Amino acid sequence: MFRDSVIDDYQDRHEIVALCDSNPHRLNEAAKAASKPGTNGVPTYLAADFDRLIVEQKPDTVVVATPDFLHADYIVRAFEAGCDVICEKPLTIDLSRLKMIVDAQARTGRQVKVTFNYRYSPARTQIRELIASGAIGEVTAVDFHWHLDRVHGADYFRRWHRQKENSGGLLVHKSTHHFDLLNWWLGTVPTEVLASGRRAFYRPETAKALGLEGRGPRCHLCRVADKCDFELDLSADESLKALYLDGEVEDGYFRDLCVFDEEIGIEDTMQAHIRYKSGATANYTLTAYSPWEGLEIKFQGTKGDITHRHVEVHGVFGGERAHADEEAVTTELHLAGEHPRMLDVPKAKGHHGGADPVMLGYIFAPDTMEPDRYNRASDHIAGAWSILTGIAANASIETGSLVNIQSMLRARDIKL
């Protein structure tokens, strides 16, 4: 996304001065895609040479799109070298790494933008506007359900995300989007979290119930793959083959591990009760094996309620995803003493409900955009608060106790 934006949409303003990756094959593939005709191409560096990249190429901004547990290392090194950062969500995965980023930012004054594209979706922005206008009065309680289907959801269980030491689990890696939306919608921050979670579906018992005895460690060459609805055939997709199957000889990274492995270390069923500084509370549910994909959310307020639903995928049938149409986003406003009203939901073209083009405009050409009255840009502070709910939820699952976020921050001497 970032590469194509720079070389296509914003080439008159920016250029890619170097690419860096841990895998030589994928690095070469990225360089071919980023090189302009008639040029000598884009310089490439292996991960071990990142500091040399900074010295030789002198970038203004570093885009960090590594696995989550490496974000902090590259953010801090970029800060120390005098660079600003654009970072994929989540900002990082745990408190020790968060402290590294916060301290480095205070020390250097450099800035990081965390790319929360959902903030820029017209439908989500409308929710923010309704709440901020006082349409339903003071928001007192929220029920938020996010459904991942059996294609998208399953994918987190076959790659590096499947271990918490890499991703923080889905409550950090995926839910950072949702917890950030709640913080932004409500204009507040979380204070306490009580959570539960377990791996209920992506486990060996499910494979056995599905008749997948004799399954292999990965889809490639698995002798029962032809009867598994969760098969990912890397050889059948040109881009996946080029990026992963052809590149695995370099580092042994398998992109198609079995989603039912015993060794998986993350949950697929999670619920959290969240208390906020404003006094509002939220109940949050995430499942990674739903028959459909999308979200359902209800805001209770002192004047009425807002119900928002977005069906992104109607369902998975024989391994194929039935994507929903544009009319699958609805918002209902129901004020006390009045009949409920279905609101016209604004739409836009582009990925993530039209969010990506807007977000990229503010990142790469802010002077061409209208002043952002919704405060959608996210710095290290917003990035921190978005992961703190998930980090606290993970701690609550582990201990069975209510976790106080301020106490958690004080214990690590993290100042936000």
**Sequence-ordered strand ranges (E) for 47-98:** 61-64, 84-87
Residue 326 reports pLDDT greater than 70: no
More confident residue, 255 or 350: 255
243 and 29 Cβ atoms separated by less than 8 Å: yes
Q: What per-residue confidence (pLDDT) applies to 36?
A: 80
pLDDT at 153: 97
Pairing of strands 139-149, 112-114: unpaired
- 156 vs 232: CA distance, rounded Å: 12
Q: 147, 295 in Cβ contact below 8 A?
A: yes
Q: Which pLDDT score is estimated for 253?
A: 96
Q: Is the pLDDT score of 274 beyond 90?
A: yes
Tokens at 144, concatenated: 């938020």
pLDDT for res 347: 86
Range with the poorest average pLDDT among 72-81, 112-121, 230-239, 347-356: 347-356
Across all residues in the chain, what is the average pLDDT?
A: 95
Strands (E) in 291-353, as ranges, are 293-301, 304-317, 320-323, 329-335, 341-342
Give the pair of three-digit tokens for residue 156: 């987190």
Give the percent of the chain with pLDDT over 70: 99
State residue 325's pLDDT score: 75
pLDDT at position 349, please?
Answer: 83
Dmax over Cα atoms in the chain, in whole Å? 68
pLDDT digits (tens, 9 = 90+) for 53-70: 999 999 999 999 999 999
Percentage of the chain lying above the pLDDT 90 cut: 92
Paired with 269 in beta bridges are 198, 287
Structural domains in the chain plus CATH codes: 2-114 (3.40.50.720), 118-201+265-347+380-411 (3.30.360.10), 204-251 (no CATH)
pLDDT of 398 over the 80 cut: yes
Mean pLDDT (whole number) for 96-118:
97
Question: Which whole number is the average pLDDT over 90-104?
Answer: 98
Phi, psi of 153 (to 5 degrees): -60, -45
pLDDT recorded at residue 32: 92
Name the burial class of residue 303, with classes exposed (0-12), middle (13-18) and buried (19+) by CB atoms within 10 angstroms of its CB.
Answer: middle
The pLDDT-based confidence of 170 (bands split at 50, 70, 90) is very high
Range of weakest confidence among 1-10, 42-51, 249-258, 394-403: 1-10
Q: 351-364 and 122-132 helices cross at what angle (nearest 10)? A: 80
pLDDT of residue 40 exceeding 90: no
For residues 25 and 254, give the distance between their C-alpha atoms in angstroms, rounded to a whole number. Answer: 14
Q: What is the mean pLDDT of residues 223-243?
A: 94
Mean pLDDT over residues 231-246, rounded? 94
SS3 state at 316:
strand
Report whether 72 contacts 101 (CB < 8 A): yes
* Integer angstrom CA distances of residue 305 from 170, 198, 332: 28, 31, 8
Look up residue 293 and give its amino acid. E
**Strands in 53-138 per DSSP E:** 61-64, 84-87, 112-114
SS3 string, 270-294, reads EEEEEEECCCCEEEEEEEEEECCEE
